[in-house]
Every structure is written in structure tokens, then in C-alpha cells.
Amino acid sequence: MKNKKLLLIAFSVINFTLFTKAQQVDKLIIPVDGITMKFDQILDTLTVNNQGPWDFSKIKPTGSYEMSILPIKESQHASDYPNATHVLKSENGEFFWNYGKDGWYSMGRVTDNIEVSYEKGLQIFSYPFDHTFKHSQDLKTTHFFVPSKTQEPWQHKIEIEGVNFGSLTLPDGENYSDVLLATGKMTTIQGPHSILGVTLTLEEYFEQFWLGDYPLPIMENYYVISTSPTGTKKLEFKRTLFLSRSSMNTETKDQLGIDFYPNPTNSIVYFGSKQERVTIFDSKGSLIFSALDVQEIDVSNIPHGFYTVKLENEGNFSSHKLLKND
């Protein structure tokens, strides 16, 4: 991310006016080789107020969840999604996205039950995306329903809007300042089925916290409600995800025994022993920092985001993912 300028706005809170920096998403950034993000989770949803700060430090996660965002070539279904730039792989299937210059688009998915591809894509949001943003879009197409091996009608609609911004504290104690809260709803109508004649409606509700150019929200409150052909509504699933420190292998040693901590950080990174050369590359592979004969570096002046730190010492090389926060 190059010299991000946070938008200066005026807004009214409890009958007085103040000036502050508003968080906005200028562009979602994915490292060239992709990235795997790990999350702590609870199989429940939380109450999220529209007004920050948000503090979830007392929540005790009960599990974990992992998602990898990879270049589209890493999917065996790449040829079916010619306009996708990336694939998200998780235990729920593969989801095809286009991280374009003007916004983020859904291009379809492949799961155990559904295969669907969008030619032009469903825009999730456009840039810049801030607390004043409001967007709605829908499309109609067909999907391949795996169990019956039939092609069926498919309708998909996104409704999303920015709500507010403030500081966020996650269950692992990590605090992120100036995150953006967005809320939304994704509606999917499957059918009517060509054989059974039934239609199923799924409504996915979410509250997401976005930080700068991170490719996924660092926290998501999420639940799904289905409506049966008879009109009966049912809560199908609920979950909350929190970006985990383990996403960056916090305070661990690599295969060469080199310490690298803390991670994430907003200031100093320590290596445990002096390194002959330290270089930092941004998500596009551009060199942004280099130092010789150091045991620690100060990254407080670089923008928040994901970086690759390469260490060289006595002919040995190691590479580390670094998450810089505010």
C-alpha cells in the first residue's frame, strides 16, 4: 500500500462535532504467492454495537479456522473461472474472486453441492470503501446442482454498507486502531428445482471489521438462515472469526532456529541474534527496507499490512511473513 491517506471528515456524535481520521479500504492486497490466514473462532454470534471501541478480549475461542487466498492458477477449476484472479480455499470449498482495480468481485464457487460461475462477477464493494459506503447488487444465472446432476436457476444478491470506525481488541489481546465496521446480507435463491419443483432461500448475515488493505476482514460475525419451500425459517449456522496471532507464527523459531518476534507488531521486531542483512518486501514484491548487522528493526514508519522479511546470516537465509498493525 503506497502512502495511504486517511480521509479527514467531520461527524456528529451525541450532539457535538469532532474531526478525526476515518478508516477506509483503498484496495485489498494479496502477496504475489498468496497468503494463508488463520482465525480463532466460536460457534456463536456476538452482539456488535455500531459505536466503537469494540473489545472482545474476554471471549474464549473454542476452535480455529484457516483460509488460503491463492492465485487462480492454484485451482484445478481455473479454466471455468477465466475472469477470477484468486481462489479462496477453505474446508467449505473453493470461492473464486476478482481483486480488481475498482473493487472486489465474487466470480462463483465450487462446493460439495454447488458449482456456479459468474461471467461478469458480483461486486461485493468498490473502492474506496468507508463508513459512508452503501452498495447493493444482484444477478441471475444458473448453477450445477451436484446431487441431482442438473442445471438449476440461481439468484444471488449482496447488500453491504459501512457503519463506523474505531479500535478493536480481539480475544488474543491484539488491539487494532481505526478499523472499519461493515454490515451486510447475502441472499441466495436456488431453484425452482427442475425435478422436485422446490425453491430454497439462504440468507447470510454478517458484521465485518476491516483493517486497511488486508485481504479478509480481521473479525467476522456471521450466521445463516434458510427458508424452506413451505416458508419455514431455520437457523442453519452461526460463527464468529477473529484473526489469530498464529496466522503469523508469533514468537516462534524457524527451521534455522532464528527468533522472530513479536508478530504482529506496530514497532520493533527482534531476531534473537544479530543478522548480517535484513530486507523487507511489500505484498507486490518491492523492496522497502534494508539494513546490515542488526538484531532488531523498527517498522513503526511503514504502513500497516502484510510483508515478507528476509534474513541473511553466515550464508543461511530465512523468510518470514510479518503483519504490521497500527
> Chain centroid to CA 117: how far?
21
pLDDT digits (tens, 9 = 90+) for 44-84: 999 999 998 999 999 999 999 999 999 999 999 999 999 99
Using the structure block, give the residue that is written with the C-alpha cell 481488541.
169
The pLDDT value given to residue 194:
87
Cβ burial, residue 170 (10 Å; 0-12/13-18/19+) = buried
Judged by DSSP in three states, 32 sits in: coil
196 pLDDT band, cuts 50/70/90, is confident
DSSP, residue by residue, 29-56: ---TT-EEEEEEEESS-----SSS-EE-
Question: Do residues 276 and 24 touch, judged by C-beta distance below 8 A?
Answer: no
Cell, residue 209: 471489521
Give me the domains of the chain, ranges plus CATH numbers: 7-245 (no CATH), 249-324 (2.60.40.3080)
Q: What is the pTM of this model?
A: 0.80
Q: Average the pLDDT over each of 36-45, 194-203, 311-320 and give the range with the smallest value.
A: 311-320
The pLDDT value given to residue 256:
52
**CA-CA distance, 78 to 175, in Å (whole number)?**
37
Of all residues in the chain, what percent carry a pLDDT higher than 70? Answer: 89
**CA triplet 123, 129, 131: central angle to 5 degrees?**
125
The pLDDT value given to residue 20:
34
Backbone angles phi, psi at 244, to 5 degrees: -100, 145
Q: Residue 80 to residues 84, 108, 118: CA-CA distances in angstroms?
A: 9, 10, 10
Beta bridge partners of 141: 154
Q: Could you report how far apart the first and last alpha carbons of the chain are, in Å?
A: 14
The pLDDT value given to residue 257:
61
Backbone angles phi, psi at 79, to 5 degrees: -65, -25
The residues near 162 (Cβ < 8 Å, ≥ 6 apart) are: 129, 130, 131, 132, 133, 134, 180, 181, 182
Reference 307, options 269, 253, 256; nearest CA is 269
**CA-CA distance, 207 to 218, in Å (whole number)?**
11
Judged by DSSP in three states, 79 sits in: helix
